[in-house]
């Protein structure tokens, strides 16, 4: 570890403490920072990060409990779109300590908890340890996700993380032994899983912090048509895969939050997969509508297009299907193509209209479809006058570098409305993300 990495981390935490992200307590700020950095590729909102946080009294040594199904965070089971086949299940168990070294005690606590929390034959009321309601809720969600996905699993990963301000090059043998024990415990409970234990110290956290989303990318193409600032491209499937991925991970930040939910292998996506797998089929773009990209600028350079401020607003099903196909090491010997439409516009109203029109063609979060309503834009404009930014589209301002203390979410405003206008502070305190999935809400 570089000598100054710990000083750099402390400086970052100092700044976030002043901004109260998410509070003014150093250990809570460090914990949130760790969650934010480790889960950066999932492009989670503040509400989603806080949902996975189970730190507190009776947390069993677990600070973060995050469940992902096909790359999407499981925040509620009632209206979650479960994949019909081809399920990818991931569980992230995160322990954060604002210590300047890695210690064995947190892992001892974790071993004791995991040994029974992962035993689904034990009902919650018969668990030996005392566990918080938040942790037990996540255990129930994980248990349900495992049951729902077990017959369709193509990949199951259990990831353990222990983060501190320490040096990963100075881990003691007893600590490494405990980490190995945790991996074995997980495998004993779930024989069909891939289990890994990762240590993140100051150096690793600094490296993650410096990794920024790239919204300006280059896409090679084989042919194109243009009219004004609109471009219709034919891009090779493999080139498009590299365009939407980074080190075999989907660049989720490229997809506008209004179109985040991959529908699993439903009929349409099964057709897409079958077309990809059948190299004797007609060219891919003959059978697929392709994708639509919104941008603020695009320039043709030779046989490629450089696109700025990318938001893929239509074609998530197609994109994820292509990503999953090539992500498993598949080839495309026929060099088939996907149709890509690039629309350059800096007009906010036009962009919102395009997003709403394209999003309405598939099942999306109800609240996302209201993001472009006039009242939502009015709230956004009113708050801007007072130097606040209304996140009517998830992570829109976060991705522009606006600090979290200046960002207000629809759920935050809903809580304020229920508290101050409807005079129901108790209900306001308990509002969760699922509240926004109801038309009346």
3-state secondary structure 114-148: HHHHCCCCCCHHHCCCCCCHHHHHHHHHHHHHHHH
- Tell me if residue 112 falls in helix, strand or coil: helix
Asked if residue 132 has pLDDT above 50, the reply is yes
pLDDT score of 257: 41
Euclidean distance between CA atoms 137 and 139, whole angstroms: 5
What is d(CA 159, CA 197) in angstroms, rounded to the nearest whole number? 6
Mean pLDDT of the region 309-320: 88
Whole-angstrom distance, CA of residue 66 vs CA of residue 78? 17
pLDDT of 435 > 50? The answer is yes
Which pLDDT score, from 0 to 100, does residue 348 have? 79
In the prediction, which pLDDT does 171 show?
95
CA distance linking residue 27 with residue 13, whole number of Å: 9
Average pLDDT over residues 174-191: 94
Which tokens hold the place of 220? 């090679």
303 vs 280: which has the higher pLDDT: 303
Per-residue model confidence as pLDDT tens digits over 152-162: 888 899 999 99
In the predicted model, what is the mean pLDDT of residues 327-349?
A: 91
- The pLDDT of 300-320, averaged and rounded, is 91
Span 85-110, average pLDDT: 93
Q: Both tokens of residue 242? A: 């590299």
- The pLDDT value recorded for residue 258 is 43
Is 312's pLDDT higher than 80? Answer: yes
pLDDT at site 41:
84
Q: pLDDT value at position 263?
A: 56
Tell whether the model's pLDDT for residue 225 goes beyond 70.
yes
Residues in a beta bridge with 88 = 155
> Residue 155: exposed, middle, or buried by beta-carbon count in 10 A (0-12, 13-18, 19+)?
middle
Model confidence over 379-418: pLDDT tens digits? Answer: 887 898 889 999 887 777 876 778 888 999 888 888 999 9
Cα separation, 398 vs 388, in Å, equals: 12
- Which pLDDT does position 296 carry in this prediction? 92
Instruction: Say if residue 92's pLDDT is above 80.
Output: yes
Looking at 119-123, 179-183, 372-376, which range is the least confident one?
372-376
Q: What CA–CA distances, in Å, run from 37 to 33, 34, 45?
A: 6, 5, 12
pLDDT at residue 35, as a whole number:
97
Judge whether residue 113 has pLDDT over 90: yes
Highest mean pLDDT among 93-102, 213-222, 315-324, 362-371: 93-102
High-pLDDT (> 90) share of the chain, %:
59
Euclidean distance between the first and final Cα of the chain, in Å?
Answer: 50
pLDDT for residue 54: 96
Query: Mean pLDDT throughout 111-115?
Result: 95
What pLDDT, in 10s, does the model give residues 28-80?
Answer: 999 999 999 999 888 888 889 999 999 999 999 999 999 998 888 998 887 78
Domains of the chain: 5-210 (3.40.91), 217-349 (no CATH), 366-437 (no CATH)
- The count of other CB atoms within 10 Å of the CB of residue 256 is 24
pLDDT reading at 361 higher than 60: no
Position 10 scores a pLDDT of 93
Using CA atoms, how far apart are residues 430 and 408, in angstroms rounded to an integer? 17
Which of 41-55, 211-225, 366-380 bottoms out in mean pLDDT, i.e. has the lowest? 366-380
Q: 243-276, pLDDT tens digit by residue? A: 999 888 888 888 854 444 555 556 677 888 889 9
pLDDT tops 70 at residue 365: no
pTM for this entry = 0.73
pLDDT band with cut points at 50, 70 and 90 for residue 362? very low
């Amino acid at each position: 570890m570089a000598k100054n990495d710990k000083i750099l981390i402390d400086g970052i935490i100092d700044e976030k403490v002043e901004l109260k992200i998410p509070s003014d307590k150093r250990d809570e700020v460090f914990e949130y920072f760790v969650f934010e950095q480790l889960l950066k590729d999932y492009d989670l909102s503040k509400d989603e990060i806080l949902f996975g946080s189970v730190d507190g009294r009776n947390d069993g040594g677990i600070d973060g409990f995050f469940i992902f199904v096909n790359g999407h965070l499981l925040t509620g089971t009632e209206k979650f779109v479960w994949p019909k086949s081809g399920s990818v299940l991931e569980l992230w168990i995160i322990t954060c300590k604002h210590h300047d070294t890695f210690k064995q005690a947190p892992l001892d606590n974790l071993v004791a908890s995991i040994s029974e929390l992962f035993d689904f034959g034990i009902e919650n009321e018969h668990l030996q340890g005392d566990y918080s309601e938040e942790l037990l809720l996540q255990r129930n969600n994980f248990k349900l996700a495992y049951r729902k996905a077990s017959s369709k699993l193509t990949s199951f990963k259990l990831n353990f993380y222990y983060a501190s301000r320490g040096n990963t090059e100075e881990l003691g043998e007893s600590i490494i032994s405990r980490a190995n024990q945790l991996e074995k415990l997980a495998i004993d409970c779930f024989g069909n899983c891939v289990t890994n234990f990762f240590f993140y110290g100051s150096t690793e956290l600094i490296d993650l912090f410096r990794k920024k989303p790239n919204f300006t990318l280059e896409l090679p193409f084989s042919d194109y048509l243009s009219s004004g600032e609109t471009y219709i491209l034919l891009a090779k499937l493999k080139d498009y895969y590299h365009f939407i991925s980074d080190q075999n991970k989907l660049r989720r930040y490229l997809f506008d939050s209004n179109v985040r939910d991959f529908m699993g292998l439903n009929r349409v996506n099964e057709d897409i997969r079958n077309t990809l797998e059948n190299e004797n089929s007609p060219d891919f773009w003959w059978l697929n509508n392709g994708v639509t990209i919104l941008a603020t600028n695009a320039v043709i350079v030779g046989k490629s297009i450089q696109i700025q401020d990318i938001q893929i607003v239509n074609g998530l099903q197609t994109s994820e299907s292509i990503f999953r196909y090539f992500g498993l090491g598949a080839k495309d010997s026929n060099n088939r193509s996907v149709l890509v439409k690039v629309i350059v516009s800096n007009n906010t109203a036009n962009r919102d209209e395009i997003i709403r029109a394209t999003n309405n063609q598939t099942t999306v979060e109800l609240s996302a479809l209201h993001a472009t309503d006039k009242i939502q834009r009015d709230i956004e404009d009113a708050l801007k006058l007072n130097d606040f930014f209304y996140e009517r589209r998830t992570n829109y301002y976060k991705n522009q570098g606006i600090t979290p203390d200046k960002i207000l979410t629809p759920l935050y405003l809903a809580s304020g409305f229920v508290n101050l206008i409807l005079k129901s502070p108790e209900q306001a305190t308990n509002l969760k993300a699922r509240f926004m999935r109801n038309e009346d809400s």
